[in-house]
Structure 1
Amino acid sequence: DEILAMRRAIVACEAAMGEMEQALKPGISENELWAELHRGNIARGGEWIETRLLTSGPRTNPWFQECSSRKIEAGDLVAFDTDLIGPYGFCADLSRTWLCGDANPSNEQRALFRIAADQIEHNMALMQPGISFRALVEASAVPPGDCFPTRYGVLYHGVGLADEYPTLPHASDWTSDTPDGVLEPGMVLCVESYIGRLGGREGVKLEEQILITETGNEQLSTYPLDTRLLG
């Protein structure tokens, strides 16, 4: 069963994420931390990872910078996107943002995180069987004005053996080439948020993997959010 195989991939991914979080200490490099996700995936029978999307501190804004040799500092945000091909060849595509060290987050870090978490929560609730792709996008929460220029490229995308159909952008980015269709039971999509102010120091990346069911949806990803950043 494909959904069972995907659940297994997510379990492996989230176990590796837990090992990453345990390894996150001031002084570890982005590359060293990212290696923990690779190690944990391979150790559990996973296959490979599509990207190198882990950044810290000022490298979290704008998004889509690859992980580097930068040493992570206490008080930094650390944001990552797993893009992981796990056991049985199925994709576990989750994003989290953590706070490094024992210090309390800044008000700005909490504010960015809250915007992202609220966007994910709102948009996840819209993911119901029968809603059209266009209606879903048009009803979706989007980043506020000072964060909109740095927005993530899509609000939702399909996921299976990798990132797959459909790819659903913000309503303002919808074009004649954007696919339209309907959410149907059995489909799995990821819901995305990146929140970083234009010219700001840091940004927050969150993403959940969602199964469309006969009566609504089920959140397949379960790794907890950083409660310090939730405020």
Structure 2
Amino acid sequence: MNDLAAPGRFGVEVYRARLERAAALAREAGLDGLVVGTGPDLRYLTGSRAHSFERLTALVVPADGGTPTVVVPRLELASLTDSAVAELGLPLNDWVDGVDPYALVTRALPVGARIAVDEALPALHLIPLADRFGTTPILATGVLRRLRMIKDDAEVEALRRAGAAIDRVHARTGEWLRPGRTEAEVAADISAAIVAEGHTGAEFVIVGSGPHGADPHHEVSERVIESGDVVVVDIGGPVEPGYNSDSTRTYVLGEPDPVVAQRCALLEAAQQAAVDVVRPGVTAESVDAAARMLLAEHGLGEVFVHRTGHGIGLSVHEEPYIVSGNDIPLEEGMAFSIEPGIYFRGEWGARIEDIVVVTADGCESLNRRPHGLTVLPG
């Protein structure tokens, strides 16, 4: 598989193969074509980072194997410069204000065609498309998720780089996390380190100290971190060409209370139990159950309040979701988080998170930092 051909994207053959596969899957689904707006699906298929506002930018993929086309405002043509669109030889239907861009879509797919649109396409564009085609489009999620869930070798390598980069940030957390500093101050240092260690930006930084750690989606605040605090640090960001890291570790400032230490050890065991279950053919919900069952056996089931994981790639959260009720069988190349947590409202919380990739006989963890409660000076 080709490596990066230009800053921010893979070689052209990667995208050519993806477009061919997208057309084939659309055909299998009984569709005439796909209409993909700006966002991670367009980036996946062409390498484009274009943004669309009130003016339509869309990739039109005929299911019959015909050449895909791009509808784009003329003033936004430069947004395609760094994509693989030119190398792929995709025709451009560019337009200016006063021209109906939805009519340009019907040049590639006939009126009455059975089309599917990606989930990021806003109603602003969806409704005029439906009017033009005279049919109600369906979501292309069933087609596109099949593509994006199974990572190819180039994607897995990008995720490995992301995992190693975020591990280097966690390894440095002791430089910034100490009593007397606010969560916001610690987060600012972590954000800078995320970039310094190889990411193009910090997508998110959670520093949940003391009672804030009991809120799984707490970000940061001006709370001053105190000696004895248990602190959840959940961080991540993209590396070129846009693939994300996401890793959580839990720290304590000073020697932990024995109850905290014992519960964190159980959490570590639950996270490992879920990792051990992963292999092709096992369902996503079985991975969730492995972590949940161990915690429930020790009276901690009620404080594990979220799913065990989510897929990751060009989006931080994508399919497959590792949650009860999701009976999709795991396949080689799927990448997702395994992140059980325990949360004691008003007191403290803890979470452990790795990204794993399903292999032929198990899984590869992309995060290698120690999983147990990390003791820092208090």
Question: TM (normalized to structure 2)?
Answer: 0.54
Does the CA-based 8 Å contact 2:249-2:373 persist in structure 1? no
Matches within 5 A, 1:161-172: 161=314, 162-169=316-323, 171=324
Relative to 1, partners in 2 of residues 1:126 and 1:44: Cα closer, same or farther, differing over 3 Å? Answer: same
Q: Contact (CA 8 Å) 2:337, 2:354: kept in 1 or not? A: yes
Q: Which of 59, 70, 78 is matched with 2:212 structurally?
A: 59
CA RMSD of aligned residues (A): 2.2
- Residue 104 of structure 1: how far off its partner (Å): 1.4
Task: Report how many residues are paired.
Answer: 219
* Runs of 4 or more above 4 Å deviation: 226-229
State the partner residue of 1:13: 166
Provide, for residues 47-73 of structure 1, a one-character-per-residue CA deviation record: whole Å limited to 9, x for no partner: 233334221012111322221111111
The structure-2 alpha-carbon separation of the partners of 1:75 and 1:2, relative to structure 1 and needing over 3 Å to count, comes to same
The equivalences for 1:70-149 within 5 A come to 70-100=223-253, 103-142=254-293, 143-144=295-296, 147-149=300-302
1:212 to 358, 361, 375: 358
For the 8 Å contact 1:137–1:168, the answer to whether it is kept is: yes
Structure with the bigger RCO (C-alpha within 8 Å, sep 6+) is 1
CA–CA separation in structure 1 for the residues paired with 2:258 and 2:200: 39
Q: Distance in 2 between matches of 1:54 and 1:19?
A: 14
Query: Bigger shift: 11-20 or 136-145?
Result: 136-145
User: % of aligned pairs identical?
Assistant: 26
TM-fit CA distance, 1:154: 1.0
Aligned to 2:336: 189
CA distance in 2, matches of 1:81, 1:7: 18
Q: Is the CA contact (8 Å cut-off) linking 2:270 and 2:290 kept in structure 1?
A: no
Cα deviation, residue 191, structure 1: 0.5
Tell me the distance in 2 between the aligned counterparts of 1:194 and 1:139: 13
Question: In the TM superposition, what whole-angstrom CA distance separates every residue of 1:105-130 from its partner, at most 9, and x where no partner exists?
Answer: 11121022112101101111001111
Deviation at 1:227, TM superposition (A): 5.7
Bigger Cα Rg: 2
Question: Is contact 2:162–2:245 with CA below 8 Å preserved after alignment?
Answer: yes
- Does the 8 Å CA contact 1:112/1:204 hold for their aligned counterparts? no
Which SS does the other structure have where 1:79 is aligned? strand
Structure 1: segments with no counterpart, 5+ residues: none
Deviations 1:137-189 (A, max 9, x none): 444434338643442421121111222101122x3xx3xxxx43211111111
Say whether the 8 Å CA contact 2:284–2:321 is kept in structure 1. no
Give me the TM-score of the superposition, normalised by structure 1: 0.85
Q: What are structure 2's unaligned runs of at least 5 residues?
A: 1-153
CA distance in 1: counterparts of 2:361 and 2:201, whole angstroms = 34
Would the aligned equivalents of 1:189 and 1:209 in 2 still touch at CA under 8 Å? Answer: yes
